[in-house]
Each structure stands twice: as C-alpha cells, then as structure tokens.
Amino acid sequence: MKPLTEQEIRTAFVNCTKGEASRLNVPRNLAEQPWDDLDFLGWRDPQAPDRAYLVTELDGRLVAVVLRSSSAASWQARRSMCSLCVTTHTGGVSLLVAPRAGKAGKQGNSVGAYMCSDLACSLYVRGKKDVGTKLHESLTVEEKVQRTVANLAAFIAKVTA
C-alpha cells in the first residue's frame, strides 16, 4: 500500500469518535514501515495493550478500525489460525473485537475475528516474518495476498455494515 501520514490514518477511523481518533496512538515510525509489503498497517497501542488498530485502503478509500483484545487468556496457549491471513501460530493469534460503525456500535454491537496478535499478516503471507510451523498450501504468495485482502475486506464490511 502507499505510505500514509498520521493525519490520513486519524481521519480514516470508522468505528470511534473523532475525539478518540485524534487521541489514539498512531505509530511514530510511519516512515519506516514496510509499506511495499503491507496490505494493511496494523499495530498495538503501546499504552493500552488490549487495544489494536488497523488501516487499509479499500476501493480507493482509506478505512481504519479500532479493535479490542478479548480478555480471555485460555485460548492463547492453543494453536490458532488467523482468520485474515490463515497463518497458524502457537499463542500468536488473538480474538480481536471491533465495535461496529455508527448506530450499531453505539448500541454495543461488535464484530470479532481471530487475527495475528501483532497484526503482521502481510509479512507472514509474504514469508518476511517467520511463524515456525507453516501450513502446506499450494497457493502462490500472490494468491495468499489476495485471500488476505478479501478476508480483511469482508471483516471491514461487517464492521461498517
């Protein structure tokens, strides 16, 4: 994806208030992110470990989403699969929950998905970050990238529906 500025990221949030979007922690090292290898930028909030964020471009529009980790720890020891990039990690997948955008979110509705805890799906898919055990798949990197993008688009569609 193309490199983004802090301002672009803050204005792209769809499921939090403008106030929250202006205060949340955006990575300081945006210039050093491996943009060429990213389908989306995801990060953990360094000051609030249960919070995570991701931003991507869908149909030419930037969309950013606020996520919260489920506090349940029991699943962490199990091997789990990321629902976006279909990578299997031991302890490296979190259930992340996004409040839905607009009225639905205000009424407490949310959408959850298992995702790589460090939100580095793009790098796992491209083999730029190692996961230990790999699934034996016959897909090419390009096909895996397309699948990740499609899974992410489906997740965001549920958040913004």
Q: Is there binding between residue 82 and Zn ion (CB under 5 A)?
A: yes
Give the list of residues 6+ apart from residue 28 with CB closer than 8 angstroms, or none. none
Instruction: Please name which of 101, 124, 99 lies closest in space to residue 112, comparing C-alpha atoms.
Output: 99
Computed on alpha carbons and rounded to an integer, the radius of gyration of the chain in Å comes to 15
Strand 61-69 to strand 93-99: parallel, antiparallel, or no bridges (unpaired)? antiparallel
Size of the site for Zn ion (CB under 5 A): 6
In the complex with Zn ion, the residue whose CB is nearer, 21 or 120, is: 120
Residue closer to Zn ion (CB basis): 31 or 130: 130
Residue nearer to Zn ion on the CB measure, 22 or 154: 154
Angle at 34 between CA 30 and CA 36, to 5 degrees: 120
The single residue among 21, 52, 84, 149 that binds Zn ion, judged by CB under 5 A, is 84
Which part of the chain contacts Zn ion (CB under 5 A), choosing from 2-10, 51-59, 69-77, 108-116? 108-116
Measured from the CB atom, the residue of 85 and 95 that comes closer to Zn ion is: 85
62-to-8, 50, 82, 115, 138 alpha-carbon distances in Å: 8, 23, 22, 20, 31
> What mask of x and - would describe binding to Zn ion in positions 112 to 131, judged by CB under 5 A?
----x----x----------
By CB under 5 A, residue 85 contacts Zn ion: yes
